[in-house]
A and B are shown apart, each in its own frame.
Chain A
């Protein structure tokens, strides 16, 4: 049996000129509003993300709100639980590295690397704040040379994230 199909003829509803103008105006207004939102938000909220060394070397950064990244020295961590204030020191890590765990370890071994005291007020003690963690801090360097942070983000690659060859496996080979 032959297939018979019938298709309804397509009809184009032509919009009126005034309607087209309305669409164009609405579109441009929305575009302008979104652009304004993005530009003004970026101008107000943008912060440089720099290393400890860059912060200490360039005075233009002092007093500005910015983000810095450094390796946490575990021996310097001090938490005042009564006042909820965390203090510790971070050590410069270069902006480019291959492996974060190695970069953190080497930074903390380097005695000549720049160090910076950090204070975080009104904060709970984060679980990940420990030796060889990477701290990413938002705040400003105050006149006394201490970085007053308002936000603290931590990455701790040493134990659970990057598995290196387990030391000690080579002691007792089992079979050929």
Chain B
């Protein structure tokens, strides 16, 4: 019954999305308000329909309906309740449905917010959002149906008697519950981690979120309403999408660090890169969009960027879900690959063609032109160029080179992590330098002496920091230069906040704290942006320290024996075999950690055995200074082998990530207006 109801609500949602897309488009073209409203209502209804459908799948997961083949694949009778819930996105079919649900939530919210204020744009935007949703729901219905059930065909030849199908095939019987329970597979152990519980939804929220600015941009192009209206309607959406995408990437890194057991968090794997590409494009967009708002410039460029961001989202979704890319992270090879590639190509082509038409008619002409190479807008464009260059380099290494070499030379050529680093390190250096200089230049024009004057203090602080680091024992030139570039960007952000607060203190006679708080309240986006810059600085320090100064050793110890690694010492204490409540066998090797002779922690590195698949769980002692990270490689009661990593300042990567999220949240947070102004705004909306 659950499966039938789920299938029915999924089908209804698909039909609603299809209708909403067509009705909105036809309504907009024919100026029929009734049709536009009907399209809007259908779009709103996709949300409850998908909520019901997803709710039914979750109920099936929680109540162990193993005849539904998705439930059979991702859970088993021993799966804990939390993982039953998160199994919703544990594999392709459930996560596609979840993706669609999030898309309908975003559409619902966008309609709620902008239906009245953006009357001309909304029907087209709804058409674009609903076309995307209908495409994904079509994939769910026809190719990756989450409500397909196992059936037995007793009359079929051996080997073809089991079939997974959403509809009941002729002559089919249902398998026994006992056989289903016994065969159920359980969630992939690699996915049983806190980071993996939250990482996919965050990434999907980011991906889905960028659909909204894209839909509004397309609506602006289709309707000819090319003023900054579409940007104002979507700037908050872009930032919200960017927060989620950033959080998704950070949590993905944390998951890799904790679960994959190689002491790192980023491996330049094609699927990781596929999620990073829309982030780069989106970051370029949220910077350059400010220039259009403030100066009426870069209209064509912003359109191109928002199309490219959505295109990168679609490509990333294809790369992750089709299984055609060789990666540790990808879903299994799936039939969705070709339709996704076709959809990606079609959407990109339609958007670019519409853009080209408007551009040729001269409707995207800028109100001003670039007048000075050191002006803030020029530096912002340069920053965009760096992000695009990063995009091109990473895309080339992950997809361009392998595909082109295969097509034209018949042999696939790839590059490794060290080549990616060769590409991106100079570009990241350029990014940090620009992050430092751009905020200090002025709109319109800046002279070199004036810019130089503003740079004096941040540069002096940077020099002082490098000297302090050098005198405290950091002698590696590469690291010192890296720290210098990254710290410079951070000092500029702090200096800007200081300058703003100082100006308020002088003119309004406020004390430091109220002045700083007022600064953030009055210009949330600018000062929220500086917190983001500080977050990126902190991440940069963490990345440099943990990659340049990482220590990695492997040793076999007899029980009671100790090994010294830098100023730490590790003692192998015991070997325990135990069974967890979910049935896995655990081999635990408790160790004691000492630092400078004093005991500081008891760690329990272990290997969990999930029947056919072992999983190494690190024991880690984390401080802000470094992570002592130990893996049990193997052993018995007498001897055990450990692999030890000391990762200096690695936690700054996560803390910097949090700062980045906080800064974006400050920028996005709705402005508190006095009651009178709210009323005025509401009246204007009506």
Instruction: Say yes or no: is B286 at the interface (Cβ < 8 Å to chain A).
Output: no
Which residues on the B side are within 8 Å of A41 (C-beta)? Answer: 393, 397, 415, 419, 422-423
Of the candidates B174, B331, B415, the one whose C-beta lies within 8 Å of that of A161 is B331
Give chain B interface residues in 105-140, CB to chain A under 8 Å. none
* Identity of the chain A residue whose Cβ is nearest the Cβ of B388 in the assembled complex: A34
Which residues on the B side are within 8 Å of A174 (C-beta)? Answer: 173-177
| Contact between chains at B419 and A171 (CB < 8 Å) | no
Which residues on the B side are within 8 Å of A165 (C-beta)? Answer: 150, 161-164
| Contact between chains at A30 and B385 (CB < 8 Å) | yes
Which residues on the B side are within 8 Å of A79 (C-beta)? Answer: 633-634
| Contact between chains at B416 and A47 (CB < 8 Å) | yes
Instruction: Say yes or no: is A146 at the interface (Cβ < 8 Å to chain B).
Output: no
Evaluate whether A46 and B328 lie within 8 angstroms (CB atoms) in the complex, with A38-B392, A163-B73, A165-B162 already known. Answer: no
* Identity of the chain A residue whose Cβ is nearest the Cβ of B69 in the assembled complex: A163
| Contact between chains at B419 and A45 (CB < 8 Å) | yes
Give chain B interface residues in 366-418, CB to chain A under 8 Å. 367-373, 378, 382, 385, 389, 392-393, 396-397, 401-402, 411-418
Instruction: Say yes or no: is B234 at the interface (Cβ < 8 Å to chain A).
Output: no
Give chain B interface residues in 425-464, CB to chain A under 8 Å. 426-427, 444
Which residues on the B side are within 8 Å of A45 (C-beta)? Answer: 415-416, 418-419, 422
Instruction: Say yes or no: is B152 at the interface (Cβ < 8 Å to chain A).
Output: yes
A64 to chain B, nearest CB (A): 12
Instruction: Say yes or no: is B628 at the interface (Cβ < 8 Å to chain A).
Output: no
| Contact between chains at A160 and B188 (CB < 8 Å) | yes
Place the interface of chain A in its size category.
Answer: 35 or more
| Contact between chains at B73 and A155 (CB < 8 Å) | no
Of the candidates A38, A124, A168, the one whose C-beta lies within 8 Å of that of B616 is A124
Instruction: Say yes or no: is B548 at the interface (Cβ < 8 Å to chain A).
Output: no
Which residues on the B side are within 8 Å of A47 (C-beta)? Answer: 413-416
**Chain B: interface secondary structure?**
mixed
| Contact between chains at A130 and B612 (CB < 8 Å) | yes
Evaluate whether A124 and B367 lie within 8 angstroms (CB atoms) in the complex, with A37-B426, A81-B634, A159-B612 already known. Answer: no
| Contact between chains at A42 and B419 (CB < 8 Å) | yes
Which residues on the A side are within 8 Å of B418 (C-beta)? Answer: 45
| Contact between chains at B554 and A175 (CB < 8 Å) | no
Instruction: Say yes or no: is A75 at the interface (Cβ < 8 Å to chain B).
Output: no
| Contact between chains at A38 and B396 (CB < 8 Å) | yes
| Contact between chains at B613 and A14 (CB < 8 Å) | no
Of the candidates A38, A151, A173, the one whose C-beta lies within 8 Å of that of B175 is A173
Instruction: Say yes or no: is B332 at the interface (Cβ < 8 Å to chain A).
Output: yes
Instruction: Say yes or no: is B178 at the interface (Cβ < 8 Å to chain A).
Output: yes
Interface flags, A139-176, vs B, CB<8A=1, else 0: 00000000000010111110111110111111111111
Which residues on the B side are within 8 Å of A54 (C-beta)? Answer: 411
Evaluate whether A175 and B174 lie within 8 angstroms (CB atoms) in the complex, with A81-B641, A165-B162 already known. Answer: yes
Which residues on the A side are within 8 Å of B422 (C-beta)? Answer: 37, 41, 44-45
Evaluate whether A171 and B179 lie within 8 angstroms (CB atoms) in the complex, with A48-B411, A153-B328 already known. Answer: yes
Give chain A interface residues in 8-43, CB to chain B under 8 Å. 10-16, 19, 22-23, 26, 30, 34, 37-38, 41-42
Evaluate whether A10 and B367 lie within 8 angstroms (CB atoms) in the complex, with A47-B414, A84-B554, A159-B612 already known. Answer: yes
| Contact between chains at B415 and A46 (CB < 8 Å) | yes
Evaluate whether A23 and B326 lie within 8 angstroms (CB atoms) in the complex, with A124-B633, A160-B185 already known. Answer: no
Instruction: Say yes or no: is A106 at the interface (Cβ < 8 Å to chain B).
Output: no
Instruction: Say yes or no: is A111 at the interface (Cβ < 8 Å to chain B).
Output: no
Interface flags, A47-90, vs B, CB<8A=1, else 0: 11110001000000000000101000000000101101000000
Instruction: Say yes or no: is A136 at the interface (Cβ < 8 Å to chain B).
Output: yes
Instruction: Say yes or no: is A99 at the interface (Cβ < 8 Å to chain B).
Output: yes
Instruction: Say yes or no: is A127 at the interface (Cβ < 8 Å to chain B).
Output: yes
Which residues on the B side are within 8 Å of A100 (C-beta)? Answer: 332-333
> Cα distance A124–B413 when bound, in Å?
27
* Identity of the chain A residue whose Cβ is nearest the Cβ of B412 in the assembled complex: A49
> Cα distance A87–B423 when bound, in Å?
33
Evaluate whether A15 and B369 lie within 8 angstroms (CB atoms) in the complex, with A46-B415, A81-B641 already known. Answer: yes
Evaluate whether A169 and B150 lie within 8 angstroms (CB atoms) in the complex, with A45-B422, A125-B633 already known. Answer: yes
Evaluate whether A13 and B369 lie within 8 angstroms (CB atoms) in the complex, with A45-B418, A161-B188 already known. Answer: yes
> Cα distance A31–B526 when bound, in Å?
30
Which residues on the A side are within 8 Å of B175 (C-beta)? Answer: 169-170, 172-174
| Contact between chains at B162 and A169 (CB < 8 Å) | yes
Instruction: Say yes or no: is B180 at the interface (Cβ < 8 Å to chain A).
Output: yes
Which residues on the B side are within 8 Å of A136 (C-beta)? Answer: 326
B211 to chain A, nearest CB (A): 28
Instruction: Say yes or no: is B339 at the interface (Cβ < 8 Å to chain A).
Output: no
Evaluate whether A67 and B332 lie within 8 angstroms (CB atoms) in the complex, with A155-B326, A168-B183, A169-B180 already known. Answer: no
Which residues on the B side are within 8 Å of A166 (C-beta)? Answer: 72, 150, 162, 179-180, 183
Which residues on the B side are within 8 Å of A82 (C-beta)? Answer: 556, 641
| Contact between chains at B413 and A48 (CB < 8 Å) | yes
Instruction: Say yes or no: is A138 at the interface (Cβ < 8 Å to chain B).
Output: yes
Interface flags, B625-637, vs A, CB<8A=1, else 0: 0000001011100
A137 to chain B, nearest CB (A): 11
Give chain B interface residues in 341-370, CB to chain A under 8 Å. 367-370
| Contact between chains at A42 and B401 (CB < 8 Å) | yes
> Cα distance A175–B385 when bound, in Å?
64
Which residues on the A side are within 8 Å of B368 (C-beta)? Answer: 11-13
Instruction: Say yes or no: is B182 at the interface (Cβ < 8 Å to chain A).
Output: yes
Which residues on the A side are within 8 Å of B621 (C-beta)? Answer: none
A147 to chain B, nearest CB (A): 16
* Identity of the chain B residue whose Cβ is nearest the Cβ of A97 in the assembled complex: B333
Interface flags, B148-172, vs A, CB<8A=1, else 0: 0010101000000111100000000
Instruction: Say yes or no: is B643 at the interface (Cβ < 8 Å to chain A).
Output: yes
Which residues on the A side are within 8 Å of B176 (C-beta)? Answer: 169, 171-174
B29 to chain A, nearest CB (A): 26
> Cα distance A176–B553 when bound, in Å?
61
| Contact between chains at B152 and A173 (CB < 8 Å) | yes
Of the candidates B174, B378, B554, B635, the one whose C-beta lies within 8 Å of that of A124 is B554
> Cα distance A126–B607 when bound, in Å?
11
Instruction: Say yes or no: is B261 at the interface (Cβ < 8 Å to chain A).
Output: yes
A6 to chain B, nearest CB (A): 15
Q: List 16 A-B contacts (CB under 8 A).
A: A10-B296, A15-B369, A38-B396, A42-B396, A45-B416, A45-B418, A48-B413, A124-B262, A160-B185, A161-B331, A163-B73, A165-B150, A165-B162, A165-B164, A169-B176, A175-B174
Q: Which 4 A-B pairs have the closest CB atoms?
A: A45-B419, A165-B162, A81-B641, A160-B188
Known: A13-B369, A46-B414, A163-B185. 18 other contacts (CB 8 A): A13-B368, A16-B371, A38-B392, A45-B416, A45-B422, A48-B412, A67-B414, A127-B616, A153-B328, A165-B150, A165-B164, A168-B179, A169-B150, A169-B162, A170-B161, A173-B152, A173-B174, A175-B174
